[in-house]
Structure 1
Amino acid sequence: MAQAYGSSGSGQHGPGARLRRLGHRLRSDRGLWRRGIVLAAFAVLLALVMLLHAQIPNTVGNLGSLTETFLPWLGLFVPVLLVLGLVRKSATAVLAVLVPAIVWLNLFGGLLTDKQHSGGDLTVATHNVNADNPDPATTAQDVAASGAQVVALEELTTEALPTYEKALAGTYPYHSVQGTVGLWSKYPLSATRPVDIKLGWTRAMRSTVATPEGAVAVYVAHMPSVRVKVDSGFTASQRDESADALGEAIADEPLGKVILLGDLNGTMNDRALNAVTSQMRSTQGAAGSGFGFSWPAAFPMARIDQIMVKGVEPVSSWTLPKTNSDHLPIAARVQL
């Protein structure tokens, strides 16, 4: 009798019984599937936008580049749609949310893991110091505290430049400033020259850094700013032309080891930077932890400041603490 009672109880209340009741409910309650069709459609549309972002045209307001700049943030819609689907008690909506979730993880899941390693023989850093920086001396000291042997600064002004030079002189005996960008190094510099990125004034440069492990070509660049306007959308044509010119210069570089430091005003997802990104690796993507957003400093939403390499192995990549700039400085350690 005890065995019969136990068997009966297990059949009515065990996991198998609960699954059978759930299956019966799913089959009988047609509303579970009919409700939430609109939510399901939004979920599928979200997945398509992320999956086919490269197909979104730039002909109207550079919509494709705008979407790609903030592409990771589209993942925030996934939990929102999931909650709405649960509130609506819609099996259709809940299952549909799995589609954009899988697409997002496929695109960005790798960035969620920590890929930083120890080692490396050269540390580099870059920082858009902001032309309106109220305390350039402290900003320079903060960047030097990173321990980088090579530092690039962008958005240098004539007024603030002597302050940066004085603050960094004790740490970096070699430096060169070309227009509004500069390079400071613990190792000798040679073959330093401006790089023409089609602006009419200098916002990019190139120099050979004589490291103990050999010569490295270091480029510093500050791409033109982009704007989001109601009447014209994402205005980035000047940035795009400069990116093409920078890509050509890097492609023609005779040295095999190349490092690019700077504010590119664009993310690695932005197709407009293909001339550069197609031939170089992002240290954050290869050896970072997380997304490494650098702008705006108060609430970083995009990584538009980049450290990229060619012929060099990234070991680790990270963002530095906030300074008086509207950008966060970033650093990376590489193996030459």
Structure 2
Amino acid sequence: MAHVDTPKAGRRALDVTAETTADEAGAPGPRWSDRVGRWRRGLVPAGLALALALLLTVHARVPNKIGNLGSLLETFLPWTALAVPVLALCAVLRRSVTALAALLAPVLVWSNLFGGLLLDKTGSGGALMVVSHNVDEGNADHAATASQLADSGADVIALQEVPQRELATYEEELARVYPHHAVEGTIGLWSRHPIVDVAPVDTGMGWTRAFRGTVATGEGPVAVYVAHLPSVRVEFRSGFTAERRDEAAELLGQAIAHEPVEHAVLLGDLNGTMNDRALAPLTSQLRSTQGAAGAGFGFSWPADFPMARIDQILVRSLEPVSSWTLPSTGSDHLPVAARVDF
């Protein structure tokens, strides 16, 4: 007569069911060895990874009609890379090969957009060194800032947001290195070389926030534009308020397009990044020194934890040799510098 141990068999069946249920619920188990499951799991992080890749691919098509969302996205577009390690962690926790494979899409698209900026493209030499700096009206020590800029070694320095009460401080300190200067409102230009043909540029604001001057260098004349475009704000109700900046960029772009001097450089706080479509009137005809000859993104704002490069050095008919940010001066912006050749 055969003997059947029903209780043990029952316990074994319950154990198998419990293991399967625990595995399906996400409890620790040999899930990477489950060849079918590791491809079926993690569909949500995989979908998010593909959505991120799509967003990076079509960022220029994100509409600006509602709160200028497109410009807001493009201002901080490089930071979308932070989503990749988060999604990678989700894929590992889910033990999903599908999610990990899907992550290749945003990584490749992001690398195509920004990978070149991570390379060190700086060269040596350069006939002309230029610096641009928003000195910040609320700067606690303008004298120290002026002294630091005077020691920068630049041939040409453009300043923005210079308080009228501190103008004499900058003029006195910079005069020991730069015998020539021009000031319009709260923006100024200091140079080792003579400055002629200074004229304001209308940016539609009702007061001067941009001007141009011709710097007579030993290599030939250079049209230097100094600009401080209107600030932008991120507000709950209206979103990314940038209309005045966008209009100013359009007017400034028109002025530069009609500039008769071949060699031209734009120095200023443009309150926008090179990715921002609103600056297309400028970026379509001028070349970023940071993009062409920098190392990294060259973020300039805010100085304590730079997240965006809104201070720009853009050139036409000049060859960028190197581009970088200078040490903090007490302003909420970092100074940006570049060397260029003719």
How far apart, in 2, do the equivalents of 1:295 and 1:26 lie?
44
Q: Is the 8 A contact 2:150 2:173 kept in 1?
A: no
Give how far 1:320 is off: 0.1
Q: Partners in 1 of 2:120 and 2:335 — Cα distance?
A: 19
> 1:306 maps to what in 2?
312
Choose 239-248 or 33-42, whichever is displaced more.
Answer: 33-42
| 1:26 positional shift | 7.7
Separation in 1 of the partners of 2:37 and 2:226?
60
Q: Secondary structure at the match of 2:256?
A: helix
3-state SS of paired residue (2:64) = coil
Once the two structures are superposed, residues 159-199 of structure 1 have per-residue CA deviations (whole angstroms, 9 ceiling, x without a partner) of 01111111111110000001111000000000001111110
**Percent identity of equivalent pairs:** 62
**What is aligned with 1:40?**
46
Question: d(CA) in 1 for partners of 2:74 and 2:147?
Answer: 34
The residue that corresponds to 2:196 in the other structure is 190
Structure 2, unaligned stretches of length 5 or more?
A: 1-30
What runs of 5+ residues in structure 1 fail to find an aligned partner? 1-24
Q: Which residue of 2 aligns with 1:122?
A: 128
Partner of residue 85 from structure 2, selected from 79, 84, 95: 79
Structure 2 equivalent of residue 150 of structure 1:
156
**8 A Cα contact 2:32 2:95, kept in partner:** no
Alignment pair present for 1:294 and 2:300: yes
Among residues 321, 337, 341, which one is paired with 1:335 in the alignment? 341
In the aligned structure 1, how far is the partner of 2:32 from the partner of 2:95? Answer: 11
2:115 counterpart (84, 109, 112): 109
Paired residue for 1:272?
A: 278
User: Quick check: 1:140 aligned with 2:142?
Assistant: no
- Aligned positions, number: 312
- Matched with 1:239 is 245
Letter in 1 for 2:157: V
RMSD (Å), alpha carbons? 1.1
**C-alpha separation between the residues in 2 aligned to 1:172 and 1:93?**
58
The farther-off stretch of 253-262 and 76-85 is 76-85
Superimposed CA distance per residue, residues 17-51 of structure 1 (whole angstroms, 9 cap, x where no aligned partner) = xxxxxxxx989632111111010110011111111
CA distance in 2, matches of 1:73, 1:144: 34
Deviation at 1:145, TM superposition (A): 1.7
| SS of 2:307 mapped into structure 1 | coil
Larger radius of gyration between Structure 1 and Structure 2: 2
Query: Which stretch shifts more, 132-141 or 211-220?
Result: 132-141
CA–CA distance in structure 2, aligned partners of residues 27 and 138 of structure 1:
63
**What CA distance in whole angstroms lies between the structure 1 residues aligned with 2:34 and 2:222?**
69
Deviation at 1:288, TM superposition (A): 0.2
CA distance in 1, matches of 2:32, 2:138: 62
How does the TM-score come out when normalised to structure 2? 0.90
Q: TM-score, normalised by structure 1?
A: 0.91
Amino acid at match of 2:107: A
